[in-house]
Amino acid sequence: MKLPQEFDLHALEVFIMTVELGGMSQCAAHLQVTQSAVSQTIARLETGIGASLFDRTMRPLGLTASGKSLFARGHKLIAHARLAYDEVREGANLPISSVTVAMSFSLANELTAPILQHLGPRADRWNIRSGISLEHQGEFLARDIDMMVTGSFSLEHRDTVELHPVFEESFIMVFPREFREPLDINGVPSSLPFIRFSRLTGTGQQIERQIVRMKLKLPQMVEVESSHQQLALVAAGIGWTITTPVCLAAVPELLPELRAEPMTRGRFSRAIQVVARMDELGDIPQRTAILCQKVLREKTFPPLIAEYPWMAQQLSWPAPTLDGEEMIA
């Protein structure tokens, strides 16, 4: 059967984006076109299919049975189309046109140069973004970001996403170097203010959930959005905090003024992984995860473990594989 000309990849992509972003106006804003242009594109797609995709009596727009079916299958169609495009370019010795990667500030400091050194030739252009992981997730869903190195789990169960584990790290406590007062019955200092990591971040929210779970009442002086700010305040003697080994390793200049300790009770952890849309970047996400693990394990953490041997027990590493190939040297 010959497909109708209205059923094209661009129209399908606009439809998927409209569903993911929550409406035609949001899709139009993202594409920088008028809402009318988005509406007309979807109307042409519906004409070609011969069925309505949206129930326009619902607010916000809801999907019809046909719309749900197309949305489920459309993701795979777009992913396969992108994969075919990239494979054709690769066969002609042409790299992927562009890759946008997002990660936290602490990870970006450690991983940006190795990613570009080892994987740079796989794309014509790389855009590396650093910042707050929850903001990155919105940009990922809006297709502004292709791949994330993140500790967030809110995208984990989307069947259009592929996940590649990097490592898991337990949260730790960090005090000013000279602080030696005994901890209270809950295993935390009662005389020192708590430096809170922003609850607008995924890591901050995870810490906050654990504080609530442990029923801790912590005197707070300040809440900050970057781990560097957080640890700089601790180094200045202003308070103590809960953070992770990779955040601590990212501030070597502050280490002489800091003292780290494992959580004495209520131990909890986060998993860092590479997240990408299914089958859109070939093996780049998997290679990125393997490379990140290698850099962190062999370069980032050894100086920290040399000072705190117990830190090795706070880290766990999944076995890296690449479809039978050897790891990146």
What CATH code is carried by the domain that includes residue 228?
Answer: 3.40.190.10
Q: pLDDT tens, 275-304?
A: 998 878 888 999 999 999 999 999 999 999
Please, which pLDDT band fits residue 94 given cuts at 50, 70 and 90? low
Domain of residue 57 covers 9-87
- The rounded distance, in Å, linking the Cα atoms of 182 and 250 is 28
Q: Which of 40, 60, 87 is the C-terminal boundary of a domain? A: 87
- Strand segments, DSSP code E, in the chain are 54-55, 62-63, 96-103, 123-130, 147-150, 161-170, 172-176, 194-197, 220-224, 241-243, 258-262, 269-277, 315-316
Q: Do residues 107 and 224 share a domain?
A: no
3 lies in some domain: no
- How many Cα atoms sit within 13 Å of 155 on the Cβ side? 29
pLDDT at 32 over 60: yes
* Percentage, residues of the chain above pLDDT 90: 39
* Residue 208 host element (H or E): helix 202-213
61 lies in some domain: yes
Q: For residue 311, what pLDDT is reported? A: 96
Q: Do residues 130 and 203 share a domain?
A: no
Give the helix ranges, DSSP H, for 214-283: 227-235, 245-249
226 lies in some domain: yes
Q: For residue 29, what pLDDT is reported? A: 84
Check the CA dihedral 39-45-50-53 and report its sign. Answer: negative
Q: pLDDT tens, 193-206?
A: 999 998 888 888 89
Q: Do residues 259 and 281 share a domain?
A: no
- Determine contact, residues 78/13, Cβ cutoff 8 Å: yes
Please, which pLDDT band fits residue 100 given cuts at 50, 70 and 90? very high
Mean pLDDT over each residue of the chain, to the nearest integer: 85
Q: Do residues 146 and 285 share a domain?
A: yes
204 lies in some domain: yes
Q: Which of 87, 117, 137 is the C-terminal boundary of a domain? A: 87
- The rounded distance, in Å, linking the Cα atoms of 205 and 199 is 5
118 lies in some domain: yes
Question: How many separate domains does the chain show?
Answer: 3
pLDDT at 328 over 50: no
Give the helix ranges, DSSP H, for 22-181: 24-31, 35-49, 65-91, 105-119, 133-141
Task: Kindly report the pTM of this predicted structure.
Answer: 0.72
Q: pLDDT tens, 148-185?
A: 999 865 665 567 789 999 999 999 999 999 988 877 76
Phi, psi dihedral angles at 244 (to 5 degrees): -125, 160
Q: For residue 317, what pLDDT is reported? A: 95
Q: Do residues 275 and 259 share a domain?
A: no
- The rounded distance, in Å, linking the Cα atoms of 262 and 310 is 8
Q: Which residues pair with 96 in a beta bridge?
A: 123
Q: pLDDT tens, 314-325?
A: 999 998 666 544
Beta strands 147-150 and 123-130: pairing type?
Answer: unpaired
4 lies in some domain: no
Q: Which CATH number covers residue 73?
A: 1.10.10.10
Q: Which of 266, 288, 310 is the C-terminal boundary of a domain? A: 266
